[in-house]
Structure 1
Amino acid sequence: MDTRLFEAARTGNIDYLQQLLAENPFILNNTQLSAENPLNIAAAMGHVDFVKEIIRLKPVFAIEVNQEGFSPMHIAADNGQVEIAKELMEVDIKLCRLEGRQKMTPFHHAAIRGRAEVISLMLSGCPDCIEDETERRETALHLAVRNNRFEAIKMLVDWIREMNKEYLLNMKDEQGNTVLHLASWKKQRRVIEIFLGSGSVSTGSLEVNAINHTGITALDVILLFPSEAGDREIVEILRSAGAMRARDSVPSTVTNSQTSTDNPSTPERCWSNRDNLVEYFKFKKDRDSPSEARGTLLVIAVLVATATFQVGVGPPGGVWQDTSIPDQKNITSNNTAHFAVNHNNIVINYVCFGSICTPTYKNAQKIFQGLHS
């Protein structure tokens, strides 16, 4: 792009643009060979009048997607430029559905950034944009929940219910997660209350017991990944709406025609999909904040340390302190004879200091020699 045209777009100087056109009537045509066009730059800077003039002169710029996967509408939606979005929709009402990289539309970007006014504008002009999915099969509602955009979530849910499109609440991403799964993972109590309404879910609306590809429900997400962020209240809200764990929501009897792989909640399927769950909850720079990642890692570290300590001080089944031989004189004793023996048949004594026991070995050398004689 001519640097002078770039400067005119950056500053929104229409007079300078006209001067450049007088000197070279084809200056706008030459920009088609560049990575950017002046409409993208003017949209990013918020120059509404300059955008109008470029659209009048070269409306084709409105539908161009640059190398980064952004069109002028993507930029306007991401920045919350409502007036510019209006002008662009005058060119083509479906520009809010224009796909960029990873099939991301301007409407998706508005949801990610929580641009409520832009969302309202696009829904009014092109309501079908709410059904568009990214490469990961995420809807705008998935993206709004994932990025904690409460006002955008409320607006989208209200619109969905007003238009009787509640099936959109049950749409699943590539991992089989509904928006309720994501809200549970993010500990978004207010969002969960919006999804569940009064607490009772009518048939055909929100599926509170939907199971993802890893074999867990929204309630499982809370119970499997506990924290101190109001988990008890969220669990109560979910249970009051009829939420169950996956193991309880699937009938225990399976017909002969069904295999274990047909049931998403079977242990075999959960195990085979464990890598998907790990991959899904991995830290992603463009999705998760470092503070949330640190908090989650801290919770996990505490849980692992607690579980390890409990196993150390109280092994499953207990331990024998020493070999026990009942008193021969007391035949009615309830105690039976036993020998503390490890897997190599080495007699073991436990020397205990408080709650910590250290094993010592009796006749270890003799037994070792006997095994190799």
Structure 2
Amino acid sequence: MVKEAAEKKLYDAASKGDLETLKQLLQQDPYLAHEAPFAFSRNLLHIGITHGQVSIVEEVLKMNPRLARILDSQKLSPLHIAVEEGKLEIAKRLLSVAPETCWWRDGHDMNPVHVAAMDGNVEILEELLRLDLYPAMERVRRGQTVLHLCVKHRQLRALNVLVEKLGELVCAKDDDGETILHLAVRCNQLEMIRYLVQRTKLDKEMTNSTGKTALDILKESPRDPITYPEIRKILNSLSDRSKLLGILPKMTDITMVVVVLIATMAFQSILQPPGGVWQDDTPSHKAGEAVMAYTHPKMYKHFVNANTTAFVSSLITIMLITTGLPLEHFFFLAVATTAMWLSLTSLAVGYGASVIMTTPNEEQTLGYIVPAVVCVFLSFILLLILYHSINGLQSSWKRKSRYEYKRMQHLIAV
């Protein structure tokens, strides 16, 4: 009875923050710090954390720091409890004593980072990530990431913090092949979808294990009259944008080599124009001036204009690629692509002007060269659009076929 009374006093002192009483009781019986049998097999440290008593936690850890590594009957470490309760200062103290508990998993297979994300404790989450990013990369049941937990529990602020730290996890799929966008659509979370579309590099056309995109999932979901139209609008715009991006070429190292070569050729052709330059000074011309500027002045003017356009548009493309502008955004990609095509077109026009100026008895004029070049490029663009349209239809048909095949397998199994 005496021991039970002491344990009751100890519990009251720890839960109320009565540090003096706690010290007196522990001086009388030091073993009470870790032997007192509280509910769920918790010790004195667990009680102090649950009630947010920082002074009690510090005193207990000073007496016995090993208590920071003791789990209760639910496999909760003291750090798990501090995170669940949202006790930032206590979490910092525990991390300084037992940082390895950031990796430990509770009875639900979640470490403290998962718990902080799920509960939306952003300040604690940032503190945990400051110590170590790798626990955040651990997956929970069904292969879900910490980002999936944020979406499932509607924790947009926590998701924002994690995306900034762990951008590579955005495209991760769970055991069902679903990304966080699939899950956000399935859970009908408009704000989460809007954030993922605007702020992440997530591939919006990714399919899950049944071959469905986020838009496919939306079409099969119950239609909320408030959120459904807005979500559909966002996903439809993404689908159209993805098709446009598929038509435009990707800005790669090969593109950089091409535009640098065009800029070099344009610069060199001004220094060494077709027909060469005058070698001596006369009353009619000076040394170093282009011969064609006097023999074919009108054509030479077209040549210089085309050459200058090729040079400047190449520089624009080089600038967009090398300065790290977000070329995955449609606007910047369209500008870079247009500049690249313009430089190629201008190079072709300059070539035509050079042919006219250097070929004797040639009947053709630039009025024939320009339409020919434009026709060739327009034909190329139309073929490119046609190819991607056919390819998109084939991909859609394949996804539908896979879905029907799996559905039939499921029906047969049932």
State the TM-score bracket (shorter-chain normalisation).
0.5 to 0.7
Extract unaligned runs of 5+ from structure 2: 243-391
Shift of 1:236: 2.5
1:152 correspondence with 2:153: no
User: Which residue is equivalent to 1:183?
Assistant: 184
Shift of 1:43: 0.8
2:8 to 3, 14, 20: 3
User: Which residue is equivalent to 1:293?
Assistant: none
Shift of 1:137: 2.1
User: Which residue is equivalent to 1:30?
Assistant: 35
Give SS of 1:102's match: coil
Code of the residue aligned with 1:65 in structure 2: it is L
1:56 correspondence with 2:200: no
2:85 to 74, 79, 88: 79
User: Which residue is equivalent to 1:222?
Assistant: 218
Spell out, residue by residue over 1:79-112, the C-alpha distance to the aligned partner (whole angstroms, 9 max, x if none): 2111111111111323222211131111111111
Give SS of 2:108's match: helix
User: Which residue is equivalent to 1:103?
Assistant: 109
Shift of 1:148: 1.0
1:235 correspondence with 2:232: yes
For residues 107 and 249 of structure 1, the distance between their equivalents in structure 2, rounded to whole angstroms, comes to 42
User: Which residue is equivalent to 2:172?
Assistant: 171
Give yes or no for contact 1:208–1:242 (8 Å, CA) kept in 2: yes
For residues 195 and 104 of structure 1, the distance between their equivalents in structure 2, rounded to whole angstroms, comes to 24
Distance 1:19 1:273, change over 3 A: farther
User: Which residue is equivalent to 1:269?
Assistant: 406
For residues 79 and 98 of structure 1, the distance between their equivalents in structure 2, rounded to whole angstroms, comes to 17
Code of the residue aligned with 2:189 in structure 1: it is Q
For residues 250 and 59 of structure 1, the distance between their equivalents in structure 2, rounded to whole angstroms, comes to 63
Distance 1:220 1:253, change over 3 A: closer
Code of the residue aligned with 1:180 in structure 2: it is L
TM-score (norm 2): 0.56
1:21 correspondence with 2:40: no
Distance 1:250 1:216, change over 3 A: farther
For residues 249 and 13 of structure 1, the distance between their equivalents in structure 2, rounded to whole angstroms, comes to 72
For residues 146 and 249 of structure 1, the distance between their equivalents in structure 2, rounded to whole angstroms, comes to 33
Distance 1:240 1:68, change over 3 A: same
Code of the residue aligned with 1:51 in structure 2: it is V
User: Which residue is equivalent to 1:339?
Assistant: none
User: Which residue is equivalent to 2:193?
Assistant: 192
For residues 134 and 208 of structure 1, the distance between their equivalents in structure 2, rounded to whole angstroms, comes to 24
1:41 correspondence with 2:34: no
Q: Which moved more, 1:22-31 or 1:181-190?
A: 22-31
CA RMSD between the two structures: 3.0
Give yes or no for contact 1:93–1:126 (8 Å, CA) kept in 2: no
Shift of 1:32: 7.8
For residues 182 and 37 of structure 1, the distance between their equivalents in structure 2, rounded to whole angstroms, comes to 39
Extract unaligned runs of 5+ from structure 1: 161-165, 255-259, 276-373
Give SS of 1:237's match: helix
Give SS of 2:395's match: coil
Alignment of 1:286-297 (within 5 A): none
User: Which residue is equivalent to 1:325?
Assistant: none
Shift of 1:230: 2.3
Distance 1:264 1:126, change over 3 A: farther
Distance 1:222 1:36, change over 3 A: same
User: Which residue is equivalent to 2:130?
Assistant: 124
Alignment of 1:198-217 (within 5 A): 205-217=201-213
Distance 1:152 1:252, change over 3 A: closer
Higher helix share: 2
Code of the residue aligned with 1:18 in structure 2: it is K
For residues 220 and 139 of structure 2, the distance between their equivalents in structure 1, rounded to whole angstroms, comes to 28
Distance 1:216 1:31, change over 3 A: farther
Code of the residue aligned with 1:223 in structure 2: it is K
Give SS of 1:28's match: helix
For residues 127 and 237 of structure 1, the distance between their equivalents in structure 2, rounded to whole angstroms, comes to 32
Code of the residue aligned with 1:241 in structure 2: it is L
Give yes or no for contact 2:84–2:115 (8 Å, CA) kept in 1: yes
Spell out, residue by residue over 1:23-62, the C-alpha distance to the aligned partner (whole angstroms, 9 max, x if none): 1122224248971111111111111111111111121221
For residues 39 and 249 of structure 1, the distance between their equivalents in structure 2, rounded to whole angstroms, comes to 62
Give yes or no for contact 1:103–1:134 (8 Å, CA) kept in 2: yes
Distance 1:151 1:271, change over 3 A: farther
Distance 1:253 1:223, change over 3 A: closer
Shift of 1:252: 6.6
For residues 77 and 205 of structure 2, the distance between their equivalents in structure 1, rounded to whole angstroms, comes to 39
Give yes or no for contact 1:138–1:172 (8 Å, CA) kept in 2: yes
Give SS of 2:142's match: coil
